[in-house]
């Protein structure tokens, strides 16, 4: 049974097992929280340059490489190295590489990379926080609400991406708005203001009507690539890796 007086009263929970497994040599919860906050603060300085994919503008984008760099900076000092096996699976890497490809059709290379980087950072940070901290009853309820709304959104995207002529922008934006609001609330409670801005950046670009139409309308410019993304999303959901 968890100690109800533990810091922040946050209970371990996950989005079907968030991918961060924490190891500390000291059982003092104050020291754990101090180390956790320090690591998360240090990670805020990552990717402050113009190129988030290794600092070299000529280097081809690789989500696997980006995962590895971000994992070291966000959770490397407190997480098992096996976390990488969870993130850098074949389906995960291909999904993010393809998402980068269709983002780059709508936005600049730097913007596309930043969106991917922000998604990975937020995922890793929530993995660290939810694994280490004991969530209050209210935050626990909020997290479950976020899980349910995210799953509904992803299943809807898969449906639109695989079934011809099924895309409904108005309904999809409504679902995205719900997920964004719930994630914003959790981020403001558990992470930093900079992380809140990252969440906003992600949804501003993924929710763009031109971007969504290109990807999800039958015959759209990036619809073929989106079908592959949907296949990988389906596999990851089935394997409870999201």
Residue ranges per structural domain of the chain: 22-50+61-238
Query: How far is 10 from 4, CA to CA, in rounded Å?
Result: 9
Residue of higher predicted confidence among 215 and 74: 215
HSE at residue 80, side-chain half, CA atoms within 13 A, is 12
Query: How far is 191 from 125, CA to CA, in rounded Å?
Result: 8
- What are the start-end ranges of the H helices in the chain? 29-43, 63-74, 83-87, 90-106, 109-132, 137-162, 169-190, 193-206, 209-216, 223-238
Residue of higher predicted confidence among 242 and 74: 242
- Residue 106: closest CA among 213, 231, 235: 213
Confidence of residue 130 (pLDDT cuts 50, 70, 90): confident
HSE at residue 234, side-chain half, CA atoms within 13 A, is 13
CA 190: distance to chain centroid? 15
Query: How far is 239 from 66, CA to CA, in rounded Å?
Result: 23
Q: What are phi and psi of 32, to 5 degrees?
A: -60, -45
Least confident of 86-100, 109-123, 144-158: 86-100
DSSP bridge partners of 58? none
> What distances in angstroms separate CA 71 from CA 82, 85, 203, 210, one per listed residue?
11, 11, 22, 32
HSE at residue 160, side-chain half, CA atoms within 13 A, is 22
Least confident of 9-13, 190-194, 198-202: 9-13
CATH class in words for 22-50+61-238: mainly alpha
Q: What pLDDT sits at residue 105?
A: 97
Q: What pLDDT sits at residue 61?
A: 67
Residue of higher predicted confidence among 225 and 69: 225
Asked if residue 103 lies in contact with residue 76, where contact means CB atoms within 8 angstroms, the answer is: no
The percentage of residues in the chain with a pLDDT greater than 70, rounded to a whole number, is: 62
Per-residue pLDDT at 167 exceeds 80: yes
- Residue 204: closest CA among 119, 98, 82: 119
Average pLDDT, the chain: 77
Asked if residue 124 lies in contact with residue 75, where contact means CB atoms within 8 angstroms, the answer is: yes
Confidence of residue 216 (pLDDT cuts 50, 70, 90): very high
Residue of higher predicted confidence among 149 and 10: 149
Least confident of 5-14, 49-58, 98-107, 117-126: 5-14
Confidence of residue 187 (pLDDT cuts 50, 70, 90): very high
Tens of pLDDT, residues 30-65? 454 455 555 455 455 444 443 455 444 456 666 667
Q: What pLDDT sits at residue 125?
A: 83
């Amino acid at each position: 049974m968890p100690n109800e007086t533990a810091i922040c009263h946050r209970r371990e929970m996950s989005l079907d097992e968030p991918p961060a497994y924490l190891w500390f040599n000291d059982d003092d919860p104050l020291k754990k929280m101090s180390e956790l906050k320090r690591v998360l603060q240090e990670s805020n300085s990552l990717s402050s340059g113009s190129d988030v994919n290794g600092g070299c503008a000529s280097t081809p984008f690789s989500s696997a490489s980006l995962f590895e760099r971000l994992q070291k900076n966000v959770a490397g000092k407190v997480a098992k190295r096996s976390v990488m096996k969870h993130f850098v699976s074949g389906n995960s890497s291909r999904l993010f590489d393809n998402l980068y490809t269709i983002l780059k059709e709508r936005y600049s290379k730097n913007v596309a990379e930043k969106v991917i980087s922000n998604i990975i950072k937020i995922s890793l940070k929530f993995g660290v926080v939810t694994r280490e901290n004991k969530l209050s009853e209210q935050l626990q309820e909020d997290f479950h609400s976020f899980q349910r709304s995210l799953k509904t959104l992803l299943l809807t995207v898969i449906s639109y991406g695989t079934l011809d002529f099924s895309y409904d922008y108005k309904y999809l934006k409504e679902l995205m708005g719900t997920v964004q609001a719930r994630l914003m609330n959790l981020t403001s409670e558990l992470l930093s203001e900079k992380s809140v801005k990252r969440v906003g950046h992600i949804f501003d670009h993924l929710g763009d009507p031109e971007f969504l139409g290109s990807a999800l309308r039958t015959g759209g410019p990036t619809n073929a690539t989106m079908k592959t993304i949907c296949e990988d999303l389906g596999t990851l959901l089935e394997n409870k890796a999201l």
